[in-house]
Structure 1
Amino acid sequence: MGLRANATLRQRRLGIELRRLRDACGLSVADAAGFAGLGAPHLGHIEAARTAIPEAKIRALADAYGCRKEPLVDALVAMGASTGRGWWSDYRKVLSADALDLAELEASCAGCKTFQWLYVPGVLQTPEYTRALFRGVESEASPQTVRASIEYRQHRQRMLVGGSPAAFHAVIHEAALHMQFVGVDVMRRQVEHLVEMARLPHVRIELLPFKAAAYPAPFGAPFVVFEAAVPELNTVYVEHPISSPFVSAQEQLVQFSAAFDHLSAVALPPIDLRVEPEFHVRKDSLGLIQHLLYAS
């Protein structure tokens, strides 16, 4: 079997985590490979995500590395066993590898925390809003690409529905609801859609007002914290046009998680339709939304 030319995020992450465990215990590639009945070059290819690794070999390596965290080992095994196929596979010839990795990550995460300050988060967008966004950002894209991108973004919303959807927490800066790249009617429907999505028990939406005592983008860009079955495998997605958008270094995961918690703490209380209307009046996220709707 030939070596992979283009590994997915999941495949790269598995290799990174296996190497991280090996480095932590101080074993060389050659010594570690011997414990699992592998050749050193073979293990090198596994850590570089150029080839797959069966469950028995993952467990043998974890044992050699002294990893006794069964949930972590089980999660690594699941990563290795996954085919990576899903609805996003239909878009392989149209969209970037990063877009496909993002969809797979959303489909497999246990929780999602997203901060946006110019746009409504993708999985909360209406089709009309997405179309207006792509007209401005991808003005030279072909109609086929725009159509596929809109369909793709709507498909991503599957993470919010189904039998066991991921817990979803969004902090959206008030600025995103004032952007005028969309018409008033489109923005109104988008804002109303946010309220409807907030009805879902696993969805929490908070607005960060202009007057909030927090710098709106601690890392200079919107970001998403994807929570895995075990915290060691959490991933951060950073919306950046040049560098790799996915972050997995443990110290950076801690920084991004802390930044999100701070943004959530200074944001308005979440949209909650159970609260009596007279108690909103811009004291919470729904109150601000109502003000924006009726003031427009």
Structure 2
Amino acid sequence: MGYMYHHFWDMYLYVAGLSIQSRWMLDPMSSPPSARKQRIGIELRKMRDAADVTAAEAAAVLGLARTKITLIEQGSYAVTPKRVMALAHRYEEADSAYVSALAAMAGDRTKGWWEEYRGAVPPGFLEIAEFEYNAKGMCSYQICHPPGPMQTEQYSRAVFREAEPPLTPRIVETRIEHRMRRCETLMKDGAQPYTAIVHEAALRMRFGGRAVTRDQLDRMLELSHLPHVTLRVVTFESGGFVGSGQAIIYARGDVPRLDTVQYDSVDGPIYLHSAEHLEKYRAIVDKMTNRSLSIEGSRDFIARVKKEI
């Protein structure tokens, strides 16, 4: 029965021309592909397009139906490292380090801690946790509030209570628990390098009131002394900020071509992977770093803001 059900949905969605994202929203018996699977598919599609190879030609390399190539590129059909290598060879991809990194991603079957929250938090929460877990280093640029992994429990609670429509207390507490797990993962000893570029506005926003905000600033100062954490502040006097003003995270992959940009939207996280986007956002991060205070200057500034609150 389950096979026939999903076969029907596969055929329906294929004929209707709907994406895999549409499938998991419409089909209650399916689950969305992980961010990692989606990225593998995106990279394979980039290679195929660059090589001007049809889906049918790619399918012939693997001995699969043409529709399976579409599903692989959408991230909804698992692909082995061997098949990644075979497709890359057919596409004449010359960057061996890139291909090896992509194959390693395909071979990773790790079930992360975020899977415990599947069904309890929105899919975007799972995606961001997986995204952070697999990054080889991150730079977060925040304007309205401190980065999630640097927030205190009380500050996070105040942020989630501002949601529209309002969240139930149970949902708020589940999301806080998930966020604190992210904090533990990214702020523990031995974690990957983490840089936070925070605008002065984020320091002065009083989510939860004066006491909660002061505690939040103390937490940021404490974390700034961790060996893998760099905290810098962009003040109002810096001359403005680059880009459209949304919060962004630039995450390093195993190789530069697997870097990722993530930014927030009302409906969940958005991920950018194209070479043009990566170059653009690297430049944005560099400009904001240059406009920010020094590490010691940033700590002194945060301490002054705390006294003023």
Same fold (TM over 0.5): yes
Q: How does 1:103-118 map to 2 (within 5 A)?
A: 103-118=129-144
Q: Is the 8 A contact 1:112 1:226 kept in 2?
A: yes
1:269 aligns with 294
Q: Which amino acid aligns with 1:256?
A: Y
In the aligned structure 2, how far is the partner of 1:92 from the partner of 1:57?
A: 29
In the aligned structure 1, how far is the partner of 2:267 from the partner of 2:152?
A: 27
Q: What is the deviation of 1:243?
A: 7.3
2:173 aligns with 147
Q: Which amino acid aligns with 1:174?
A: E
Q: Secondary structure at the match of 2:213?
A: helix
Query: Closer, same or farther in 2 for the Cα pair 1:169/1:19, shift >3 Å?
Result: same
2:306 aligns with 293
Q: Does 1:176 align with 2:202?
A: yes
1:234 aligns with 259
Greater share of helix: 2
Q: Does 1:252 align with 2:283?
A: no
Q: What is the deviation of 1:65?
A: 1.3
State the superposition RMSD in angstroms. 2.0
Q: What is the deviation of 1:139?
A: 6.5
Q: Secondary structure at the match of 1:200?
A: coil
1:245-280 CA-partner distances (Å, limit 9, x unpaired): 12222211211121111011101112x4xxxxxxxx
Q: Which residue, out of 93, 102, 105, partners 1:79? A: 105
Query: Closer, same or farther in 2 for the Cα pair 1:50/1:290, shift >3 Å?
Result: closer
Q: What is the deviation of 1:23?
A: 1.0
Q: Which amino acid aligns with 1:43?
A: I
Q: Is the 8 A contact 2:199 2:235 kept in 1?
A: yes
Q: Which residue, out of 133, 157, 162, partners 1:131? A: 157
Q: What is the deviation of 1:70?
A: 2.6
- Which runs of 5 or more structure 2 residues have no equivalent in the other structure? 11-19, 21-29
Q: Which amino acid aligns with 2:169?
A: P
Q: What is the deviation of 1:10?
A: 1.5
In the aligned structure 2, how far is the partner of 1:111 from the partner of 1:182?
A: 30
Q: Does 1:158 align with 2:155?
A: no
Q: What is the deviation of 1:33?
A: 2.5
Q: Does 1:15 align with 2:41?
A: yes
Q: What is the deviation of 1:203?
A: 0.6
Q: Which moved more, 1:29-38 or 1:193-202?
A: 29-38
Q: Which amino acid aligns with 1:205?
A: L
Q: Is the 8 A contact 1:84 1:104 kept in 2?
A: no
Q: What is the deviation of 1:242?
A: 4.0
Q: What is the deviation of 1:289?
A: 1.4
Q: Which moved more, 1:27-36 or 1:145-154?
A: 27-36
Tell me the percent identity.
30
1:275 aligns with none
In the aligned structure 2, how far is the partner of 1:223 from the partner of 1:165?
A: 20
Q: Secondary structure at the match of 1:221?
A: coil
Q: What is the deviation of 1:25?
A: 1.4
In the aligned structure 2, how far is the partner of 1:173 from the partner of 1:211?
A: 11
Q: Report how many residues are paired.
A: 283
1:122-176 CA-partner distances (Å, limit 9, x unpaired): 0000111111111223572111100011111110013324564111111100011
Q: Does 1:68 align with 2:81?
A: no
Query: Closer, same or farther in 2 for the Cα pair 1:199/1:243, shift >3 Å?
Result: closer
In the aligned structure 1, how far is the partner of 2:136 from the partner of 2:121?
A: 25
Q: Secondary structure at the match of 1:136?
A: coil
In the aligned structure 1, how far is the partner of 2:122 from the partner of 2:103?
A: 27
2:16 aligns with none
Q: Which residue, out of 232, 235, 239, partners 1:213? A: 239
2:250 aligns with 225
In the aligned structure 2, how far is the partner of 1:202 from the partner of 1:180?
A: 27
Q: Which residue, out of 68, 72, 85, partners 1:46? A: 72
Q: Is the 8 A contact 1:46 1:52 kept in 2?
A: yes
1:73-94 CA-partner distances (Å, limit 9, x unpaired): 2221222223352111111111
Task: Output the TM-score relative to the length of structure 1.
Answer: 0.89
1:55-106 CA-partner distances (Å, limit 9, x unpaired): 2111111111112323212221222223352111111111111110100010
Q: Secondary structure at the match of 1:220?
A: coil
- Which runs of 5 or more structure 1 residues have no equivalent in the other structure? 273-283
